[in-house]
Amino acid sequence: MSDITSWSAHQISTALAAGEVSSVEVTKAYLDRIDATDAVLGSFLARSSNALEVAKASDDARASGIVSSPLAGVPVAIKDVLCTTDMVTTAGSRILEGWVPPYDATVVSKLRAAGMVALGKTNMDEFAMGSSTEHSAYQVTKNPWDTTRAPGGSGGGSAAAVAARQAPVAIGSDTGGSIRQPAAFTGSVGVKPTYGGVSRYGVIALASSLDQVGPVARTVHDAALVHDVIAGYDSHDSTSIPTPWPSMSDAAETGARADDLSGVRFGVVKQLIGEGISASVRQRFDEAIELITSNGGEVVEIDAPHCEYAVAAYYLILPAEASSNLAKFDSVRFGLRVTPEGNPTVEDVMAATRDQGFGDEVKRRIILGTYALSAGYYDAYYGSAQKVRTLIQRDFAQAFEKVDVLISPCAPTTAFPLGSKLEDPLAMWAGDLTTIPVNLAGIPGMSIPMGLAPDDGLPVGLQLMAPAYQDARLYEAGATLERLFTQRDGTMLSMNTPEVN
């Protein structure tokens, strides 16, 4: 038997169904893999204390004829922004150090109901504010392809865990690219669903109008299987869409069987391939376009003029909503409390707690957001940014009248060296220029590996975008492209991560 951790989630599911392996064996293989590699990578902030017991329960249920989902018995890693009753939930912040929630996030409840086995909670930039997972209050996560490089952020822990075979699949959250950019940096598949397609209940909020939970996986089909588990209406979430969703795994299987891309129209957003895109990323993107056209797909240029202002608008909307959302961490109700000497007032305790409990990036964004919401500036900043957002939504709506899927590089560069952008927040923020428009528009986006950069040998991600509610379209097109890339290169990049030393 080959190393179980080299299997896809679908392969594990098939082997479990055939009785070739047990969930206990699979789970132990991944726990051993984490033990062997996480001292180097730092993917996990917490480990499950009962993973093997949950795996045993899954095996027992299967033996009695009860299989709750195709992923029953398959392990999963969970970003530490989702509440879990059996593990700490810190959102990568000292202000929540040691906090164990009294309830599970809806997504976590769905994973449990599907019979999946939680391995642990993955590292992240504090409160999901960052693009490198260097802003975690606890540790820095490293990229499995090159441990001197960042794994992306804010969900670098989930992407690194999947790429390093510490977990077959993982859950992330995406506010401006926090699933897709780490997937691009680590040669993984990452999906941001349509806004409202997956419940946000029990997810510690960053920017409520932008946040969305989604899967990280090693194949498009694996991501689709997880998406099928976590999607659906939730009455606890006021932004949840009350509509049935088609099977994403069926769509992925259809795409994988397609002979070519005949009949599919791809749009290249010219504002997302210009300034800031490195030469090596642009080279791989141009090769992807050639692959599409040589396999029957049609490619047209799309003008989305307001995407030029997306980063500026985003970094007003996000800090404003973050400032409001993080006001709850006030030292009074839960979380860290720092009491100054003497006879401090409530305000003194609150100020001391937030000063010590929040990191520099969080403080930077709270200050920016509070200013943008302050009297006399609300309309000029936050209000204007929302108007730009509406214009971006219109740009995408017009684009999808002409094409089926939009494409762009997922990140403007490959994974950058750890520490190289910490002193330049604007440079870090500019790295989100291709992913942010998707969140502002509320549409689904996906990153799939499209090869290695010719200069540094690191993964490059192709971003696919579809209209709202058309997530299945992404999986179908993504699976076809994944197969074509694999045929071209003779190997599936996401299944061949270098060994971690």
Q: Is residue 277 part of a domain?
A: no
Q: Is residue 358 part of a domain?
A: no
Alpha carbon of 208 to those of 205, 211, 408, 473: distances in Å?
6, 6, 26, 25
Q: Is residue 427 part of a domain?
A: no
Q: Say which of 23, 79, 173, 331 is annotated catalytic.
A: 79
The Cα 302–Cα 286 span in angstroms is: 15
Q: Is residue 204 part of a domain?
A: yes
Q: Is residue 407 part of a domain?
A: no
Residue 203: phi and psi, rounded to 5, are -105, 120
Enumerate the H helices of 42-115 as residue ranges: 51-63, 106-113
Per the structure, how many domains does the chain have? 1
Q: Say which of 154, 240, 408, 447 is annotated catalytic.
A: 154
Q: Is residue 90 part of a domain?
A: yes
List 118's β-bridge partners, or say none: 76
Residue 49: phi and psi, rounded to 5, are -90, -10
Catalytic residue list contains 328: no
pLDDT computed for residue 2 by the predictor = 66
Q: Is residue 85 part of a domain?
A: yes
The Cα 250–Cα 255 span in angstroms is: 9
Enumerate the H helices of 275-410 as residue ranges: 279-294, 310-325, 346-357, 360-373, 384-399
Q: Is residue 54 part of a domain?
A: yes
As a whole number of angstroms, the longest Cα–Cα distance in the chain is: 74
Q: Say which of 178, 280, 331, 494 is annotated catalytic.
A: 178
Catalytic residue list contains 69: no
Q: Which domain holds residue 230?
A: 4-259+446-495
CATH of the domain at 170: 3.90.1300.10
**Closest to 389 (Cα-Cα) out of 323, 443, 314, 469:** 314
The Cα angle at residue 68 between residues 63 and 73, in degrees rounded to 5? 65
Contacts of residue 467, Cβ cutoff 8 Å, sequence gap at least 6: 396, 397, 400, 443, 473
Catalytic residue list contains 154: yes
SS3 449: strand
**Closest to 43 (Cα-Cα) out of 173, 161, 168:** 161
The Cα 405–Cα 208 span in angstroms is: 26
Alpha-carbon dihedral 104, 108, 112, 114, rounded to 10 degrees: 140
- Pair 289, 450: CB distance under 8 Å: no
Q: Residue-wise pLDDT tens for the chain (501 aa)? A: 469 999 999 999 999 999 999 999 999 999 999 999 999 999 999 999 999 999 999 999 999 999 999 999 999 999 999 999 999 999 999 999 999 999 999 999 999 999 999 999 999 999 999 999 999 999 999 999 999 999 999 999 999 999 999 999 999 999 999 999 999 999 999 999 999 999 999 999 999 999 999 999 999 999 999 999 999 999 999 999 999 999 999 999 999 999 999 999 999 999 999 889 999 999 999 999 999 999 999 999 999 999 999 999 999 999 999 999 999 999 988 889 999 999 999 999 999 999 999 999 999 999 999 999 988 888 899 999 999 999 999 999 999 999 999 999 999 999 999 999 998 988 898 889 999 999 999 999 999 999 999 999 999 999 999 999 999 999 999 999 999 999 999 999 888 888 886
